[in-house]
């Protein structure tokens, strides 16, 4: 085990046991980096409430938001060694565990919001959620994380050419970096927690994300142009440590999975409301909302999608996704 992982395990073991017991009462620890006002956090709160109701208090979840127990990467590492039960990650992060997840980050692969939901909720989604167990990670559900678009400090992005020479923050995701390159920008991976400062100091010229994240991160205080090209629809993934999952009884697993599944439509409702509210608030704060022609961007990255269609694994997934109805 790497020294960093050993350090994390020792540091958090007493406080953050993945699954602690108090008599017959088990407590699962869930940590993530989002603000408590974020719709995904609210979805997880609903899941915790439903789990407590279903189990009559025998199995509950304690939630630690806002990066209290570490960054997204640190939470994943804690989860893998069983010191944390559950965390939330972007599907882009899961690319490092299985290349199949890369398909969810490809630009313009989803025709509509309904199309993406049918993929996440269907056979393909289930296959992806259960495809990382060899890495001690099991997916519970997908949460809506909306469409991602470009926001910049002072330059609107109305065509792909506007991105030429611009340093754009991306997640540490190969597909995200390839997409920005294909559009003419310079992809710059920076952790979410460091992005505000990077924007403020000019380390990057902009970033790409959904409206609630632009709002809750306060990036709108620095970036005054938001161009809704909606290039990707990368979901969030709720994951559990297989070490913790396997320690639960069959009944407890059933309660937890049902609570997670029931939280999905609730989170989507919160998300839709949050998008509307976020766009209103950032506009009132001086952000200009631009509505570029999405076809210009889709045409620019078509070669990237065609390249992945030739991939033995991803090509089949892309064709299956395209065959899913809206």
In the prediction, which pLDDT does 35 show? 86
pTM beyond 0.75, yes or no: yes
Span 12-31, average pLDDT: 71
Place of tokens 């199309």: 115
Return the pLDDT at 7.
44
**What average pLDDT does range 169-194 have in this prediction?**
92
Q: Could you report how far apart the first and last alpha carbons of the chain are, in Å? A: 45
Beta-bridge partner residues of 28: 19, 61
The helix/strand/coil state of 109 is coil
Q: Do 54 and 23 touch, CB atoms closer than 8 A?
A: no
Rounded CA-CA distance 237/267 in Å is: 12
Distances (CA, A) of 134 to 18, 87, 266, 298: 18, 17, 30, 35
Q: What percent of the chain has pLDDT over 90?
A: 83
Backbone dihedral region for residue 120 (phi beyond 0: left; psi -120 to 50: alpha; all else: beta): alpha
127-240-211 Cα angle (round to 5): 80
Distance between CA atoms of 326 and 289, rounded to whole angstroms? 27
Calpha distance 160→153 (Å, rounded): 17
Mean pLDDT of all residues in 78-100: 92
**Among 244, 235, 237, CA closest to 80:** 244
Mean pLDDT of 166-195: 93
pLDDT for residue 97: 86
Q: Are the beta carbons of 317 and 100 closer than 8 angstroms? A: yes
Range with lowest mean pLDDT among 84-88, 116-120, 170-174: 170-174
Element (DSSP H or E) covering residue 160: none
Residue 10 has pLDDT above 70, yes or no: no
User: Model confidence over 36-60: pLDDT tens digits?
Assistant: 989 999 999 999 999 999 999 999 9
Q: What integer pLDDT is reported at residue 307 of this predicted model?
A: 94
123-140 residue pLDDT tens: 999 999 999 999 999 999
Q: Which domains does the chain have, with CATH numbers?
A: 3-144+235-275 (3.40.190.170), 148-233+277-323 (3.40.190.170)
- Looking at residue 60, what DSSP letter applies? E
Give the C-alpha separation, 199 to 197, whole Å.
5
* Best CA proximity match to 30, nearest among 92, 79, 93: 79
* Helix/strand number for the chain, H first, E second: 13, 12
> Which residue would you say has higher pLDDT here, 207 or 5?
207
pLDDT at res. 14: 43
Q: Determine the pLDDT at residue 11.
A: 45
Average pLDDT over residues 70-75: 88
CB-neighbour burial class of residue 197 (10 A; exposed 0-12, middle 13-18, buried 19+)? exposed
């Amino acid at each position: 085990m790497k020294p960093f992982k050993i350090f994390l395990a020792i540091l958090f073991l007493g406080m953050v046991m993945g699954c602690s017991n108090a008599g017959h009462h088990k407590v699962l620890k869930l940590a993530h980096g989002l603000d408590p006002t974020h719709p995904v956090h609210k979805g997880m709160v609903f899941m915790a409430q439903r789990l407590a109701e279903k189990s009559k208090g025998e199995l509950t979840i304690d939630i630690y938001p806002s990066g209290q127990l570490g960054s997204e990467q640190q939470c994943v590492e804690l989860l893998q060694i069983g010191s944390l039960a559950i965390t939330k990650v972007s599907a882009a992060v899961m690319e490092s565990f299985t290349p199949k997840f890369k398909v969810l980050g490809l630009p313009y692969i989803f025709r509509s919001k309904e199309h993406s939901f049918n993929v996440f909720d269907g056979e393909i989604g289930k296959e992806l959620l259960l495809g990382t167990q060899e890495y001690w990670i099991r997916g519970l559900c997908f949460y809506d994380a909306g469409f991602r678009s470009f926001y910049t400090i002072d330059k609107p992005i109305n065509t792909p050419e506007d991105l030429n020479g611009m340093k754009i923050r991306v997640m540490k995701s190969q597909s995200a970096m390839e997409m920005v390159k294909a559009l003419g920008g310079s992809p710059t991976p920076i952790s979410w927690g460091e992005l505000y400062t990077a924007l403020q100091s000019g380390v990057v010229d902009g970033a790409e994300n959904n409206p609630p994240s632009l709002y809750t991160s306060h990036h709108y205080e620095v970036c005054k142009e938001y161009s809704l090209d909606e290039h990707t629809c990368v979901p969030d993934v709720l994951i559990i440590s297989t070490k913790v999952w396997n320690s639960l009884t069959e009944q407890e697993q059933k309660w937890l999975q049902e609570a997670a599944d029931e939280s999905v439509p609730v989170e989507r409702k919160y998300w839709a409301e949050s998008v509307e509210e976020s766009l209103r608030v950032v506009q009132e704060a001086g952000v200009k909302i631009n509505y570029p022609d999405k076809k210009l961007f889709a045409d620019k990255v078509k070669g990237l999608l065609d390249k992945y269609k030739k991939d033995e694994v991803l090509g089949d997934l892309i064709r299956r996704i395209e065959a899913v109805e809206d």
